[in-house]
Amino acid sequence: MELELVIFDMDGLMFDTEPIGAKCFRDAAREFGYIVDEEFQMGLIGMNVHDHVLKVKEKFGDDYPVFEVRALARKMRMGYFYKHGLPIKPGLKELITYLKEAGIKIAIASSSPIRLINEYLELAKMKDIFDFVIDGDSVEHGKPDPELFLKVLAHFNIDSNKAIVLEDSTNGILASHKAKIPVICVPDLVVNKPEVLALTYKTLPSLLEVKDEIKNILGENKC
């Protein structure tokens, strides 16, 4: 495989934000009188704002104060991260350093809004490291639609078979598969079904193993 580009998801893949984000979302919804069950919440992971709004309105009705809940959840979440620090996934910095040294382009394709992406990158001291960043508000259809990933390929003018996506969620894996880009799953909160994992190039326990796998792809671990 000729590898020229690695595309990173953000929440749950680069940063261990999903557990705190999930708790803050449930707590915020409860403040407005709504109970969010875990299965429904897991299905929201990886969606952009537009698709999130459609899903919660479908479940809770048009009276559900979606933007008020999101704003409160965000305030709770960022308050926690500013106080305790942003948890970075093991192996992330080592992987990024390796890819940079190998001359591989790196991009973020996240369903989160750009303001949040930039805030996380600032907290992680990773601002201006990535070659390209695209957010969920930059596309009409978020994951599991492939539009985010297709826009990354178009930006670099790189064929799908010369890229790899790193994802944790079902929606991200489906989006990558539809974009015909090989995807490595690094599981987080979402328990992906076997038929979803069957669509991946590989499933690896952490980004440390991803670095080793990419070394294998590039032929550096050959005897």
For residue 223, the model assigns a pLDDT of: 44
pLDDT at 24 over 80: yes
Contact (Cβ atoms closer than 8 angstroms) between residue 25 and residue 45: no
Please say which residue of 58, 84, 110 terminates a domain: 84
Answer yes or no: do 25 and 118 share one domain.
no
Token pair of 43 as six digits: 């299905």
Overall domain count for the chain: 2
Q: At what angle do helices 147-156 and 170-178 cross, to 10 degrees?
A: 50
For residue 150, the model assigns a pLDDT of: 98
Q: Which of 41-50, 110-119, 157-166, 203-212 has the lowest mean pLDDT?
A: 41-50
For residue 220, the model assigns a pLDDT of: 66
For residue 34, the model assigns a pLDDT of: 95
Answer yes or no: do 107 and 201 share one domain.
yes
Instruction: Give per-residue pLDDT as tens, 127-144.
Output: 999 999 999 999 988 899
Neighbours of 61 (CB within 10 A): 9
Could you tell me if residue 36 is inside a domain? yes
Collapse the DSSP code of 185 into the 3-class scheme (helix H, G, I; strand E, B; otherwise coil) and give the result. strand
For residue 45, the model assigns a pLDDT of: 77
Answer yes or no: do 48 and 91 share one domain.
no
Answer yes or no: do 117 and 203 share one domain.
yes
Answer yes or no: do 79 and 172 share one domain.
no
Cis peptide leading into residue 194 (ω within 30°): no
Instruction: Give per-residue pLDDT as tens, 158-200.
Output: 999 999 999 999 999 999 999 999 999 999 988 899 999 999 9
Instruction: Give per-residue pLDDT as tens, 30-65.
Output: 999 999 998 898 888 777 788 889 999 999 999 999
Token pair of 3 as six digits: 């590898």
* Mean pLDDT (the chain, rounded): 93
Q: How far apart are CA 7 and CA 55, in angstroms?
A: 26
Please say which residue of 84, 118, 140 terminates a domain: 84
- What is the tally of helices (H) and strands (E) in the chain? 10, 6
Pairing type for strands 183-185 and 132-134 reads unpaired
Could you tell me if residue 223 is inside a domain? no
Q: Average pLDDT for residues 105-115, to the nearest whole number? A: 95
The secondary structure of residue 11, as a DSSP letter, is B
Answer yes or no: do 61 and 138 share one domain.
no
Q: How sure is the predictor about 76, in pLDDT bands with cuts at 50, 70 and 90?
A: very high
Nearest Cα to Cα of residue 71 among 28, 31, 116, 100: 28
3-class SS string, 59-90: HHCCCCCHHHHHHHHHHHHHHHHHHHCCCECC
Q: Domain range spanning residue 209?
A: 5-16+87-217
Q: Average pLDDT for residues 76-82, to the nearest whole number? A: 94
For residue 48, the model assigns a pLDDT of: 75
